[in-house]
Amino acid sequence: MLQHPQVKGPGVGLLGFSKGAEVSLAMAAFLKNILAVASLNAPVAVTAIPLSYKNKIIPTVALHEHKAKATNSKFLDYSDGMDDPFQAPGDQSRIPLEKGEAQLLFMVGQDDCVVKSEYHATEVCKLLQAQGKKNFQILSYPGTGHCIDPPFFPLYHIGSHPVFHKRAALGGELRAYSKAQVHAWSQIQAFFKKYLIVN
């Protein structure tokens, strides 16, 4: 990416959602030249496929389908199905964000029914702060589910769980989701302008 003629450098920014944000956070932990990551409703632990980088392998966090809860719509809320990445044994799967230097913007929906994204972001920022780091920010959106799309995308209440391959509740309420879309998009742009554009 740094060789691309439209990339000014000296580094790049990453925008990721869900598993894509998990991968973006892992890149920030291990790769140089990642200056900024905007993470939308990401777990901060490795899911589904072990992460392998050089001689390091991070195992996947355990997922428990039996911990899913039925919602009012009769679809399943899987947010409690993942081992806690801040306690054993889940902590062996946590992405070591303290190793990276990138600026981190965590955007989380308080009604995320796939990942406890607000909890993940809050706890990882506590760890970073305890190590004297200040390279993080959390934007938390009430009434917003797993999807935080660009403005004017339709709200999807239901999706397919990426691991269990079953219909899953994604969470969110239309008005709150619509407001979050507009706010989040402006914040993402401002974040990248602040940390990527060299004057």
**Per-residue pLDDT tens over the stretch 28-75:** 999 999 999 999 999 999 999 999 999 999 999 999 989 999 887 778
CA distance 40 to 96: 18
**Per-residue pLDDT tens over the stretch 125-167:** 999 999 999 999 999 999 999 999 999 999 988 888 888 888 8
Q: In the structure, what pLDDT confidence band is assigned to residue 106 with cuts at 50, 70 and 90?
A: very high
Nearest to 150 by CA among 38, 58, 57: 38
Q: In Å, how far from its chain's centre is CA 40? A: 4
CA atoms within 13 A on the CB side of 42: 29
Q: Give me the active site residues, please.
A: 18, 112, 146
> Model pTM?
0.93
